[in-house]
Amino acid sequence: MNINIMGGGPPALIPSLESYRSPEDKWIGVDRGTAVLLERGINPYAAFGDFDSVTEEELAFIKTSIHNLRKVKPEKDETDMELALEWAVQQNPRMIRLFGATGGRIDHFLANLQLMQRYNEKQYAPELKMIDIRNTVYIKSAGTYQVKKDENKYISFLPGTSDVSGLTLKGFKYPLENRHIPKGSTLCISNELVGDYGTFSFSEGILIIIRSDD
């Protein structure tokens, strides 16, 4: 089972959802993202938020459409996305995808990125991806990984919360061998695969991988 979470980011940045609509997967709405799912013909399994970004009419429709509604007070320590993500991780899915989590307010995007980093550090964490119409973002701990060519031409590698040690890129236009990448480095922005597959590996740290089509 995968869990797809729809946040309240700009609808123009949300990709087509048809390829993610598998019968065994669950959809979760976060605040206004709940209304976005209903507008696209997807009835969420659950919804989280204070719903301060929807109209009274939209909230009434949400209440009649969703049985598992977790409405919380606006005054709280967690963001609505954090509440949904915490619940999703506890369901032990194979993967969690975040939609409507980029664009709009920069503070929300950065908070979502930090949440992904935090959950990536947990043992047995599911794979986490943040997806919009032009980008896919995911995070990896030290190890060796294969990447496959897809519609997203560019691949960028950014250090997460610390330096990255021993980064090696093979099958890329700009290869690296056992390179130390300090936090804040932009060395690995906009790389490209030269064939159908490539590999990246590193020995220490956390990498933020961004695949973009522009």
Range of the domain at 158: 138-212
pLDDT at 110: 94
Helix pair angle (106-120, 80-90), 10° resolution: 20
pLDDT confidence of residue 103: 87
State which of 133, 160, 184 marks the end of a domain. Answer: 133
Q: Please indicate, yes or no, whether residues 60 and 77 belong to a single structural domain of this protein.
A: yes
Same domain assignment for residues 39 and 127: yes
| CATH number where 173 lies | 3.40.50.10240
DSSP conformational letter for 208 = E
| Together in a domain, 62 and 29 | yes
Do residues 111 and 184 share a domain? no
- Residue 52: its pLDDT value, please? 86
95 and 52 both lie in a single domain: yes
**What is the residue type of 77?**
D
Are 176 and 77 members of one domain?
Answer: no
Residue with tokens 């009835």: 43
Q: How many helices (H) and strands (E) does the chain have?
A: 4, 12
* Mean pLDDT in consecutive groups of 10 residues from the start of the chain, 214 residues: 95 93 94 94 94 89 91 87 94 96 92 92 84 96 95 95 95 98 95 97 96 90
Same domain as 107, residue 7: yes
pLDDT at 119: 87
Q: Dig out the tokens for 98 from the structure.
A: 């975040």
Kindly calculate the radius of gyration of the chain based on its CA atoms and give it in whole angstroms.
18
The whole-number pLDDT of residue 74 equals 81
Q: In this structure, are 144 and 50 located in the same domain?
A: no
Return the pLDDT at 73: 86
- Torsion of Cα atoms, 134 then 119 then 77 then 98, to 10°: 30
User: Does residue 159 sit in the same domain as residue 112?
Assistant: no
Domain boundary among 133, 168, 200: 133
Question: How many domains does the chain contain in total?
Answer: 2
